[in-house]
Amino acid sequence: MIALGTQLMKAAFNALLEKGFSQVSLSVDQDNKAVNLYKRLDFVIVKEEETAFTMKKTL
């Protein structure tokens, strides 16, 4: 069974693709456990600040 967070993110990716987007980015606190979810969903860290990561994914 796919976790709810993963299902929601994949639905968002599909909606973005339908709107013509090819990439998505987000910022997340470095201590947030969601960083692991984003990495599993193929986000990569493109910028590291004091307390946050900026992550990007190609759709």
Helices (H), the chain: 4-18, 34-40
**Cβ partners under 8 Å of residue 19, min gap 6:** none
Decide: pTM greater than 0.85.
yes
How many C-alpha atoms does 35 have within 13 Å on its Cβ side? 14
Q: How far apart are CA 8 and CA 13, in angstroms?
A: 9
In this predicted structure, what is the pLDDT of residue 6?
A: 92
Residue numbers of the chain with a pLDDT score lower than 70? none
Q: Please name the amino acid found at residue 54.
A: T
Walk me through the domains of the chain, giving residue ranges and CATH numbers. Answer: 4-58 (3.40.630.30)
In this predicted structure, what is the pLDDT of residue 40?
A: 95
